[in-house]
A and B are shown apart, each in its own frame.
Chain A
């Protein structure tokens, strides 16, 4: 049976995950350098041990209400196409190993503000996990 591992986190009370293969590391918030005149979801640039990662606010990206960065905020650093993206999320959750049989395409009723970044959903106990497709996210940024 095919399984995939997902690093999961919470944004605005909802449950999201990214494929763990794309996650480089998870860090606490660190000093950030704002980029003037950039879109609101670009929080700025961070120094990840000599490499520069772009911090992207998932709330702002999804068009949700912004929330201040606090102790529970977490940076999920993903690597895609040589690009280091640091997703700013509300709270980190477990790494889950999920079976392909529990996977389903994103239902059409999911609003496009989030739906456009999703590759699908996993049905898990007590909840449904929305999988964020980093590639779609990068495509969106580069658009």
Chain B
């Protein structure tokens, strides 16, 4: 029904437009002659009118239009000139068409007067025209080849013929009695019109009336609306300023006026916004066709139910969501709904149901696409994701079903087993999500395997005016879009049971049993500020890229509707802001880009911010984890920490009395030399004084680690255990001194990993090797299978300014190298012991490629015997280095790069 309405409404609107265009053209022609272009466009319009009228069953209109078209033909061919009498006749014809269109019944049977008019006027027109312009009557007759049974139309034709033959050119008397055009005769051909009329009359909205009251709509340039919108934006701002000012005033009259201004402005804003609004039905109706075609192509039976087509959205937003929505619907039809046979076997109705619903909710428009198909099977998604290297098998195991389903939004994901013609053409759900987010929207997925999938798009009503929450940090005010805001929290450190806790210097808060990482707005905006403890935390919970996070602000001020002003391009580099706006007091406030803020605090070494051209295997994507063994130890009150076991040389207990001090440095005699001791408690600044901790006991627990052939002792309070963890090291949101990240131990506890080498370097006062001055911006391919070394080396290299692409083994490394072409990588670093293809094989394979026979290759290994070194040289390695000697590595890189 809705489709029918829309189609007819469109037809009427189109007719109106055409009639208007023709009228204005003809009026113009009365002043001066029309040029060929005008006549062509006139002809085209009439032709279109004829076509669509006949298509929609308005035969009379079709005939009239045909009449005009026929008579215009000689004019178009420049055989004759348009003259005044002729134009008058066209006008009369147009009037006839207009009358038929405006007649609510559109049923000539009930309008004898109109009917008669047509029967009289049309033959006149045609006769006149044909007479005047010569012998084209056949052309007119041709219009109705099989209309012999239509008495009404035949009558017209006959009449015309008579007129034509009688040579009568004017004032033809009407001689058809009303009897002759009795309803019965008309019914067979006019039945359609009658039906239409009935249907139209049953419509909720009297569309017909709308069409008949001429001035109900006007067409306006979108640019004018845009300008209007901007002006209203300015006005809203001024209103806000006035209101702000009114707060300080005690003048009652003034207050009254501001209130009225406030109301009027709000209403004006609302109305102007509505001028840009369009019912979403304008795109919904297109989906009928899409779904019909798809169901035919796919051999599926799909019932599309549309509701809320009248829901209105800003025009630009409608344009913006059209493609993503089409994609979602295609996906549902293609991947979601099963074939009838499958559905039958599952006990579902053979006809799949797809519902498309739009409605308002909380100042947003929600568009819901729901199917009752097979849903998203988390297991299948995981398998696919592992196969596509989007996640690691370990990560997949620890994923919840919901998380797994969200993987469909990951870049480079497509679930269709076979790429069909319908979907799976490279544009995936990631693009859909991007496009929705671009207009400030949000996309949510709910799916139950077996019973169906629901996708919800939350779209803001309009782009120009955005509801925000204003927050204060120090003396600066920022605006946060309400769309991205989940909730507001206030945590009183003295009174609340649930407090902000520290996870290795990072604030976290338990929000309904889940850890919510906190980001201090002040620290993000002004990294140089010194952290201060707070008693009250005002937290704005925001949507991050994947997880929510809490932004700690000094004050949550107020809600406001703001007008977004774009930032100049060169400020877009500061990714934390999406725009600016002018506040009530006239000052400028920045609009926070919630994802940008989350991105800004990410640890630089996590590599997430760096773009690699081979996304799934990029940087230390943390995807290729193996079980790593960790040594767990306790540090006074701070809890359990861990060191990767690969770094640990030995565990020692020294009698307290053996510990000596050389200056500030703690040392102990160990294996014929002195072992420098580093107290981790002291390093991290934990309360318990190292000396006190030592005094308590008679012995000191020391973890002996080696770095660059030197041994160092890390003093801990107690060595707890050695445990294996399958989980990957999660880097901290923010880079913290001395810490590498966290890992989940067997008992699900979160353990913090200490960054052994940085601690040693820092404690020993070793300056960070700054080779970056001589290291050109280079790209390195790094083949290594152990995740710990991947992370360690990547960190060293990235610190030195190199771009690192990681490969989990030799086979993969070779693949990446070949794929990326000759000059993409500047050099290769490879482990020796790797699965599938070891370092020696990799090196010789690279050398065998003509493109890469000169690329520097550096071996990084624990196999460091002389024989191994020789073997390495033979295989084609330029340098052969022992693992975990970052200084030597950087030096070697410097050298091989310099040699090139």
Q: Tell me the A residues contacting B by CB distance below 8 Å.
A: 31-38, 42, 44-47, 50-52, 54, 83, 141-143
Contacts and interface: CB of A to CB of B under 8 A. Distances in A.
Given A38-B574, A50-B234, A50-B582, A31 B587 contact: yes
Given A33-B589, A36-B526, A52 B580 contact: yes
A93 B700 CA distance: 75
Interface string B575-602: 0110010100011111000000000100
Given A31-B587, A36-B525, A36-B576, A54 B476 contact: no
Contact of A42 (B571, B576, B587): B571
B590 A33 contact: yes
Contacts of A51: 565
B569 interface: yes
A37 B588 contact: no
Interface in B514-550: 524-527
Given A31-B587, A35-B590, A50-B582, 10 more contacts: A35-B571, A35-B577, A36-B525, A37-B527, A45-B588, A45-B590, A50-B234, A52-B580, A141-B568, A142-B569
Nearest to B525: A36
B2 to A, nearest CB: 42
B684 to A, nearest CB: 28
B237 interface: yes
Which 7 A/B pairs are nearest by Cβ-Cβ distance? A36-B525, A33-B588, A141-B570, A45-B588, A52-B565, A50-B234, A47-B582
B586 A54 contact: no
Interface in B322-368: none
Contact of A37 (B567, B576, B580, B582): B576
11 contacts: A33-B587, A33-B590, A35-B571, A37-B527, A37-B576, A50-B234, A50-B237, A52-B567, A83-B568, A141-B568, A142-B569
Contacts of B527: 37
A47 to B, nearest CB: 5
Given A36-B525, A36-B576, A37-B576, A47 B568 contact: no
Nearest to B572: A142
Contacts of A141: 568, 570
A87 B565 CA distance: 20
Contact of B588 (A38, A42, A46, A83): A46
Contacts of B574: 35-38
Contacts of B586: 31, 47
Nearest to B600: A37
A36 B574 CA distance: 8
Contacts of B580: 33, 45, 52
A42 B234 CA distance: 25
Given A35-B574, A141-B568, A141-B570, A52 B588 contact: yes
A84 to B, nearest CB: 8
A47 B586 CA distance: 7
B568 A33 contact: no
A83 B600 CA distance: 26
Contacts of B238: 50
Nearest to A54: B568
Contacts of A54: 568, 571
Contacts of A47: 582, 586-588
B239 to A, nearest CB: 12
A37 to B, nearest CB: 5
Q: Which of A36, A42, A141, A142 has the most CB of B within 10 A?
A: A36
B154 to A, nearest CB: 65
Contacts of A42: 571
Contacts of B568: 54, 83, 141
A54 to B, nearest CB: 5
Nearest to B233: A50
B215 to A, nearest CB: 34
Residue with the greatest number of chain B CB neighbours at <10 A, chosen from A37, A51, A54, A142? A37
Contacts of B600: 37
A52 to B, nearest CB: 5
Contacts of B577: 35
Nearest to B522: A36
A33 B852 CA distance: 53
A142 B590 CA distance: 20
Given A45-B580, A52-B565, A33 B570 contact: no
Contacts of B525: 36-37
Contacts of A33: 476, 580, 587-590
A101 B569 CA distance: 37
B582 A52 contact: yes
A36 to B, nearest CB: 4
Contacts of A31: 586-587
A142 B588 contact: no
A20 B526 CA distance: 37
A45 B574 CA distance: 14
Contacts of B590: 33, 35, 45
A50 B582 CA distance: 7
A34 B589 CA distance: 9
Contacts of A44: 588
Give the interface centre of A31, A34, A52 by most chain B CB atoms within 10 Å.
A52
Contacts of B589: 33
A83 B568 CA distance: 7
Nearest to A82: B568
Nearest to A139: B570
A54 B567 CA distance: 9
A142 B570 contact: yes
A38 B600 CA distance: 13
A83 B574 CA distance: 17
Which of B570, B571, B590 has the most chain A CB atoms inside 10 A of its CB? B570
B527 to A, nearest CB: 8
Nearest to A34: B476
A143 B587 CA distance: 28
Interface in B551-580: 565, 567-571, 574, 576-577, 580
A115 B587 CA distance: 34
Contacts of A143: 570
B241 to A, nearest CB: 10
A141 to B, nearest CB: 4
A51 B566 CA distance: 10
Nearest to A42: B571
Contacts of B567: 52
> Which of B237, B568, B569, B582 is the most central at the interface, judged by chain A CB atoms within 10 Å of its CB?
B568
A25 B589 CA distance: 22
A64 B394 CA distance: 56
Contacts of A45: 580, 588, 590
Contacts of B571: 35, 38, 42, 54
Nearest to A141: B570
A43 B836 CA distance: 57
A32 to B, nearest CB: 8
Pick from A46, A47, A51, A83 the residue with the most CB of B within 10 Å. A47
Nearest to B526: A36
B880 to A, nearest CB: 42
